[in-house]
Homo-oligomer: A and B are copies of this chain.
Amino acid sequence: MSPLALFALFLVQLFFPVKASDFTHKPRVTLTDKDVSFLRIQLPGNNSHIELLHGHLDNIVYATGRRHLFQTNFHSSRTSIMSPVFGEGCRSNDPTSPDCHYNITVLRKTEDKNQLFLCGTNGQQQTLCCYMNPSDDLFNCTPSNGNKDIQHINEREPSLLIGSSEVKEFYTTHSGIEGSVGINRFGKNRLWTEKSGTEQRYVSLVASGQREDHLQDRLYAFYIEKNRDSRWDSDLWVPRVAQVCTADLGGPKGLLQFRWTSKLSARLFCGDHESRQYFTQLVDVNTVLAERWQDTRIYALFRNSWGVSAVCVYTIVDIDRIFKTSNFKGYTEPVPSPRPGECVKDSTKLPMDVLKMVDKYSEMEEWVTSGPLLVTHHYYHHIRVDRVQGKGNVLFLSLENGGIHKVLERDGRAFVIAELQPFNYIAHILSMMLHSSTGKLYVGSSRELVQIDLDSCEQYGSQCEDCVLARDPYCGWDGNHCTTATNKTIQDVENGNHQICSNIFRGVTASKVYFPRSSVGAADGIRVPPSSKYFLNCPTLSSHAEYSWRHHGNTTATPCISPGSEHQCLLLIESMGPEQQGTYSCVSEERGYHRTLVQYQLQLDSGATGLVSHRLAWLVLTLVLTLLC
């Protein structure tokens, strides 16, 4: 293209700079249960809603169906079904009464290995919560004192159980437009939010982690709120973050009594200001706790109406800065002291002007902003993030078809390591749970739970280069295999530079590295009749590699014919002739790593027929001679 034409194109780009078709984050490999072994367990029934919880023992996973609690042991492949009975009257009196039809709405682990915290909500909007021992025969949920005043809890509401066994506090949210929409706390110091007036949907509740000054511990809620701006070019929902102090005791009698005195909210922004590409549909949130609470990272998954997903990362310190320094929206007078949102020992003694301000001006003027780590045309539903010590973070993003993308985050950039396909059918993933310490990911569809080993490595290939190009921080090359990463294995998560292999294994025969015998197909001659059609195929693994065919002396390569979804590289021979004879090699190139995958030797078959007939001729001749003589 001429410089002038480039300039013209530049003019167009200047006004409408970025194009979404550039967002191609193709997973390097696609792995099904032919490549990796997934442990799968059938769930009874056809569940519309699943929540997963890892038990205190490895391999034990709890899943909540609508009415039942499944305890699944992936070690023994056994599932036991528990049907909790809520309310004292429901066991003895009339368990079939509609008032006794409780749906399980909350399931949390407690510090006590023998106890789960469970809530159920019935059609009368009554919620009962209790501690239960899953190994008890009588699975009866009768609330203890502290849990008697728990209000109506919906399905899918985020919740947190904080504190020691003695002083436990249960936080949950209430989505909707009516009732105490917002963050609610049950336990000794019950607090709730007043009616908000605008519809809110809660996505996640996050504890900041323990601060140096325990008094400053905060909780953050991530939610979407119906946009008060109803112009035709405004978004339907806007994403927000709210904070409350865990030490909040509410206001004094008359002003904010039993209400949060520390609740502030700010607009969340995920996008690029320059190109005006931004995302408002907050879908899921996952937190990676850090040793220092300030470094705790919030991974927020957004989508937009155009089929594009984005992941933005916020740190607690980013969010805190806005709440601590921003102006208050619509408030122009001097800010009183203590500044609203600061955590204090006894909030009932807060000055009146502070309480009045919190009541009226709790929204920040500044936004909590982040540029996306990943923008892609894939439509993701869930996000889970694992920290792989010293190697970077790994994101797990569920797709609409039941697949999962395993994505490496390194230096603020994303690399899609693999698409995992744990289901053998188009599935809707209802829940996804990461159990970092055992290196397992669990996904649930309406009828199956699947356990995925995060450190499954052999599928990447049998060469050191295969292992390094994969850039999987769970895997490394131990000299013989691609295997679970240790401090002795070789890997280059940062760049996927395969040179690391030849540098270290200098001395190993070059042929092993560049022409791996095991993966090169047999080069025995194949006889093809004249004018016949024939095809050659070659298995492909990496979508980041370029595959092509070379025909003996020919310097120009023939590109592959790749049938849609199949991992194959075909070469079609329309009509066999003398020119089609010779050696065909299927070669791949990825980040400078060249290799030959299969080799075929084609021969014109005219000679073969001759060979058979000669032999037959001799047979006939011998027979005739024997008969005659």
State the A residues within 8 Å of B (CB).
1-2, 4-5, 7-9, 15-21, 46-49, 66, 201, 224, 232-238, 269, 271, 273, 275-278, 280-281, 283, 303-308, 367, 369, 377, 379, 428, 430, 446, 526-529, 532-537, 561-564, 566, 570, 572, 605, 608-609, 612-614, 616-617, 619-621, 624-625, 628
- Whole-angstrom CA separation of A273 from B369 in the bound complex: 27
12 CB < 8 A contacts A-B: A4-B47, A5-B446, A15-B224, A21-B379, A232-B278, A275-B305, A528-B532, A529-B529, A535-B535, A609-B613, A612-B613, A620-B620
CB distance from A568 to the nearest CB of B (A): 9
* Residues from chain B with Cβ under 8 Å of A534 in the complex: 532-535
B303 touches A306 (CB 8 A): no
* Residues from chain B with Cβ under 8 Å of A18 in the complex: 305
- Whole-angstrom CA separation of A23 from B529 in the bound complex: 48
B1 touches A428 (CB 8 A): yes
* Residues from chain B with Cβ under 8 Å of A616 in the complex: 613-614, 616-617
Nearest residue, chain B, Cβ from A446: B5
* Residues from chain B with Cβ under 8 Å of A369 in the complex: 232
* Residues from chain B with Cβ under 8 Å of A617 in the complex: 613, 616-617, 619-620
CB distance from A620 to the nearest CB of B (A): 4
CB distance from A363 to the nearest CB of B (A): 15
Extra A-B contacts (19), CB below 8 Å, given A616-B617, A620-B620:
A2-B48, A8-B48, A8-B49, A16-B283, A16-B303, A17-B305, A19-B307, A20-B307, A233-B234, A233-B238, A233-B269, A235-B276, A236-B275, A562-B563, A570-B572, A609-B609, A621-B621, A624-B624, A624-B625
Q: Residue among A269, A275, A564 with the most chain B CB within 10 A?
A: A564
B233 touches A280 (CB 8 A): yes
Nearest residue, chain B, Cβ from A280: B233
A48 touches B276 (CB 8 A): no
Partner of A4, one of B66, B232, B303, B527: B66
- Whole-angstrom CA separation of A572 from B535 in the bound complex: 8
* Residues from chain B with Cβ under 8 Å of A528 in the complex: 532
